[in-house]
Structure 1
């Protein structure tokens, strides 16, 4: 091996983007899962830990810096790569002191709303809403129907009028739900 080739291998081995990838060039979900388990101090399937292993069918672009692991909230932790813009939520097994139920039998709406809401919902199930998405100087809106009640800042399921697909967005105000894309 030439000096130039060895220097390139050493450079790539020290690169955080290279270290976080698997053999196929995507984010290494096994290492990411290990970081989550370590941050939560609870193994997969144990109280306070992830409900199940990360789905290895996910093909995430490698994050150039360490993936941010948010504190547990609403029965899940969020894993974020700010520079690229991806985020995944990992449901947690209910542990003593957790606010929301999140186990393998009840992962649905419990991830998006608190088990004991303190404010009345801004959007009720069946209400027409504006689905909003946009970035860098443009905004796209379409009509949708709320599939569940939602509070300011909470995540709810909506069904766009022109599509038969359920999507999840964040309640911005009484008639608007924001999504990253649709």
Structure 2
């Protein structure tokens, strides 16, 4: 058991701490969070975080030679993410109605959508996508 803990400690020391790196990047720019699955070799010096150019910030470790391009969030991007009510892959109840009738069916969302936004859905029995309008979490209309 002790050897397993030592192996884990040695392995984690080989890689850059992405939480700390992410925090340092956020001090320089409103960037997207780093993918925590990345396994970057630990930089012997502090990684260099360049100023934002265009739509990204460059983070690099010259001593080892790795380089990351981290996208910068667009203004208001956090607002858009917070209002998404349908996610790609969700099962969605799709309803169509008219005078004297209403029909509903379960479909799979092919896109993310905010309230009132059009998105693609696919029937469980047909491969042809259709367009629906998001009304609420898990609910859409044609």
Larger RCO: 1 or 2 (CA < 8 Å, sep 6+) = 2
Confirm or deny a common fold (TM above 0.5): no
Q: Which one has the bigger strand percentage?
A: 2
TM-score w.r.t. the length of structure 1 is 0.34
TM-score normalised according to structure 2 size: 0.43
Structure with larger Rg: 2
